[in-house]
Amino acid sequence: MVSSSGTKFIFVMGGVVSSLGKGIAASSLGLLLKQRGLQVSMLKFDPYLNVDPGTMSPFQHGEVFVTDDGAETDLDLGHYERFLGRSLGRENNVTAGQIYDAILTKERRGDFLGRTVQVVPHVTNEIKGCVLRLADRDPDLDVVITEIGGTVGDIESLPFLEAVRQVLFDLGRENCLYLHLTLVPYIATAHEIKTKPTQHSVKTLREIGIQPDILLCRTKLPLNQDVKEKIGLFCNVSARDVIEARDAESIYEVPLRLEAEGLSQRVAEKLGLGEREPDLEDWRRFVRGVQMATREVRIAVVGKYVDHLDSYKSIIEAFTHAGEANDARVRVEWVDSENLNEATAAEKLTDMDGILVPGGFGHRGVEGKVAAIRLARERGIPFLGICLGLQAAIIELARAVAGLPGADSTEFEPQNPAPVICLMEEQKGLRQMGGTMRLGAYPCRLVAGSLARRCYDRDEVSERHRHRYEVNNAYRDKLAAAGMRFSGLSPDGQLVEIIELPDHPFFIATQFHPELKSRPRAPHPLFRALVAAALTRSQSKVAVS
């Protein structure tokens, strides 16, 4: 079990309550170490029994983040990619479902040679194998940061915690570091911050054999030296290793705050990772750009998961990146597509500087999206459609302009008279739901002279997909005659990847998900162009009034 490559392993756990921002804390540490010149990769363990989040409802799980290699992963992978500036893949997100699936496959094959299959050592070995494999496959890696989902004390997390405890036993203290994120709540009536929940959570961790090396304490108020010493004493860590993680306005500020508290230096000292300071100049510039933006645009996102904004995580972040690049703050107005018809769309959306229709599944809310797109098309409002947003734009134009009033997707109306969106041949016979969509990165050729070509400034791009349905090629001519341009196609020309309307200030839609590839210092070209078009609209409104 000893990793031969000299890679160091950091484990990030969380206690007290969920939603403390473990993913952001882990990503922030990843960025700090990377900016110290180290090669860093990250791994997320999710203790639930689903094989992946692909079959879970967005209401349950939030966004499904798709990687280049087509894995449907936890949304924290999005934060990892955005903070590390590096693309990850299937092996960077492992669920309990995958662990048990692998073990049961081996058991049926007879690999265990008649032995009883148990949580320790079989499940724990499988878990450890996922961590060590990352280091073995990439000998250049200096650090692997592993985040364990859930909260310490959960029944489900136990095998994962036991496995990461064993990693220290296997590899030695000089190669492992445990970081625990807890909450230090402020109790207003007592005018006090309370350390007890942290003490209890660390006690639970120590009962299972893990002594955290560093505590990250999420807090509304600053933690003074006395509080740090008290936490340190009860939790058996030095006060220097009690690190304040104060609430920040933007997630991108978090690494800067943690660095001001000395996080990366403490980690580097404990693991012998060198003395170099992290170079955070560029990141600081980005954060300043986000905070100091002088302009503002209002962009409506018309979707059906608007009460669960985690479902649109990467879209929100893509707007932050694109806003910064345009010196603008993007105010996103969330509009529920279920309650939208032509009249309410006009009322709610006419004043917007831009409209984005995101992806989605199922019939509910689709007519509202069609109504929003009609308004965007007719009133010249800048529009970006993503995945279902592209499909709805095709349906809209087919019905309103191409003389196909009954047009629909076979996802919503299997027997409709003009199936402008339909299943791909290879999808037709599929019975299994999980992992069977068109998933991951595909190349897309951009048509010369198109808006898409201008935005990207390249002839071919690679973008990530997650959908079953496609534009029906039998209707391409009719749609083109109605004014639609197919400006991005698969290299064989068979799949429509981008559409646009040339007679419109900015109307473009993609079958893929551009938001998944946007990064702080590399905003996605289409988001950047949407925000720029929205700024032009907002300025022309000022000029008119």
Residues that bind ligand GLN in the complex, under the rule CB under 6 A: 359-361, 387-388, 411, 466-469
User: Looking at the DSSP assignment, which residues form a beta bridge with residue 332?
Assistant: 299
Residue nearest to ligand GLN (CB): 359
Minimum CB separation from ligand GLN for residue 523, in Å?
21
Task: Decide whether 9 or 469 has the Cβ nearer to ligand GLN.
Answer: 469
- Whether 513 is catalytic: yes
Pick the catalytic residue from 79, 180, 465, 513: 513
Task: Decide whether 359 or 514 has the Cβ nearer to ligand GLN.
Answer: 359
Q: Cα–Cα distance between 204 and 214 in angstroms, integer? A: 15
Task: Decide whether 66 or 381 has the Cβ nearer to ligand GLN.
Answer: 66
**Residue 435: left if φ>0, alpha if ψ -120 to 50, beta else—which one?**
left
Task: Decide whether 112 or 412 has the Cβ nearer to ligand GLN.
Answer: 412
Which amino acid is residue 207, in one-letter code?
A: E
Minimum CB separation from ligand GLN for residue 54, in Å?
11
- Whether 387 is catalytic: yes
**Residue 362: left if φ>0, alpha if ψ -120 to 50, beta else—which one?**
left
Phi, then psi, of 204 in degrees rounded to 5: -60, -40
Minimum CB separation from ligand GLN for residue 118, in Å?
40
Minimum CB separation from ligand GLN for residue 419, in Å?
13
- The residue among 147, 154, 14, 27 whose CA lies nearest residue 78 is 27
- Concatenating the DSSP letter of every residue in 424-449 gives -HHHHT----TT-SEEEEEEEEEPTT
Q: Cα–Cα distance between 364 and 78 in angstroms, integer? A: 27
- The residue among 316, 329, 464, 282 whose CA lies nearest residue 387 is 464
- Whether 396 is catalytic: no
Task: Decide whether 100 or 361 has the Cβ nearer to ligand GLN.
Answer: 361
Minimum CB separation from ligand GLN for residue 58, in Å?
10
Minimum CB separation from ligand GLN for residue 65, in Å?
12
Pick the catalytic residue from 387, 422, 444, 455: 387
Q: Cα–Cα distance between 275 and 36 in angstroms, integer? A: 8
Task: Decide whether 228 or 524 has the Cβ nearer to ligand GLN.
Answer: 524
Q: Cα–Cα distance between 488 and 526 in angstroms, integer? A: 13
**Residue 513: left if φ>0, alpha if ψ -120 to 50, beta else—which one?**
beta
Pick the catalytic residue from 63, 261, 515, 524: 515
Residues involved in catalysis: 387, 513, 515
